A and B are shown apart, each in its own frame.
Chain A
Amino acid sequence: MNQIASQNAPSPKVVVPHFIFGALTWLMVTILIIFHPEAFTQHYFNAELLAITHLLVLGWITMIIFGALYQLLPVIMEVKLYSETLAKISFLLMAIGTILLSLAFWHFSFGPLMFIAGISIVISVSLFVANALLTAHSSNKNVIERTFIVSSVIWLLFTVLAGLTLAINLSHPFLKVSHVELLKLHAHAGLVGWFVQLIIGVSSKLLPMFMVSHHVNTKKLNFSFYTINIGLPIGIIALYLQYKIGVVFSAIMVVAGIVGYLSFLLASYKKRVKKQLDIGMKQSALSFVFLVIPLFLIFTLLLNIDFLNRLTLPLSVAYGSAIVIGFITSLVMGQTYKTLPFIVWLKVYQGKVGKVILPLPKDLYSEKLAIAQVWLFAIGFGFLLIGISTTNTTLVMVSGILLLLSVAFYNLNILKIVLHKPTNK
């Protein structure tokens, strides 16, 4: 008999703090957008945008991914998490590192504070990577999802090491390449190597499971894996050597890989048994619609179209925002409703069936709040993109208010879920 996946689940004490820290960080970011909209309407290498970006990618997205992965790796690999202690230490170091790094960026200070923050993040990531790889190692499930996850965590380590190198280079310059070009290299290693690959690995297992889609051909995912992992290193080297054709070739490869993945998801969607999508899956679907925006923008930016030249800088910020906020944030918010209620529900009700009233996991949060959250997010993100593209700070500020309301509703639901108590019969 196979082991049941829920027997491998880690303690919620390991997982839940990641969700709470992540949700509060995202709330903090929306407040910063309201009070500092100019961060989004200048050159992307500005103190405020660097601080906001790192809060988003480390404090919000990576934090939630770490927490969710501690729960999901046992589901995907069908083994227990290697170490809960490593996970707890990694959480603390990531939380401290992110706060210090954002403060250092905000004050544009590249001294010891940034160095300490960088070291703290590198150690946190190293512990996470060791934990993930040792968990994967103990699994005999040699599937493409596992390959994507293993590759993504290695790219994460590369990304934070590159980030630390850049931080040192800012205070003690030793690299001959322009800092802006190095920033693109660091950003794409993180966005594509870490986030996109991790999302492909996890979602290609979970989304068909949530939709109950059987017999979906995974060959397209093999294609995606090779195109991304050949295309991305070519792009990194080409960016370092400033070899434009190499960057364009890399973009074509990576986008082809992402299209292959989207085609796999579409096939899963068409074969789904569960026809009605719940609110978590609807926001996730929305995130894939938003993903189309950066896929177009990347070629618009690379092709240097004459009449768009004066828009290069705003479109670059729009491109990054469309990936980080439009795609990844929206997906993380949606998938929170597919993971956190189940984590808490299992913890509260396992072993208590028959003794207490058993609700459904979806009863742990308010669906009305979740629906309002999705609408506010979609409209807020629309305003943000228009505000960035037209360098209109008022529109960016309005987007910040809408996103703040969306995140406030999201946080209320998270609070409702983690504070859930059973009702006796």
Chain B
Amino acid sequence: MSIIETVNANQIEAQLREFIVENFFVEDELDATESLTDAGVIDSTGVLEVVSWIEDTFAVTVPDADILPDNLDSIARIVRYVTGCVGA
């Protein structure tokens, strides 16, 4: 990952953490690799909220086939997915 990519990934993670704290009423103490579903942070409706946040914030469309735990079930995975979508 280049320096620019790292900076952008850090910015995305900061935005994401702010969204999660404000939207799911949790403290910002989540480990980046912790499962958001196992931790009880998001349920199936929460997944839709995360998808909507990605689409609205980064002006991308999340295809149905991408709505997978591999892409969306931790902060690190979401950051990686968004980074790939926006070509950061």
Asked if A and B bind, the verdict is: no
- Give the A-binding residues of B (Cβ under 8 A): none
- Give the B-binding residues of A (Cβ under 8 A): none
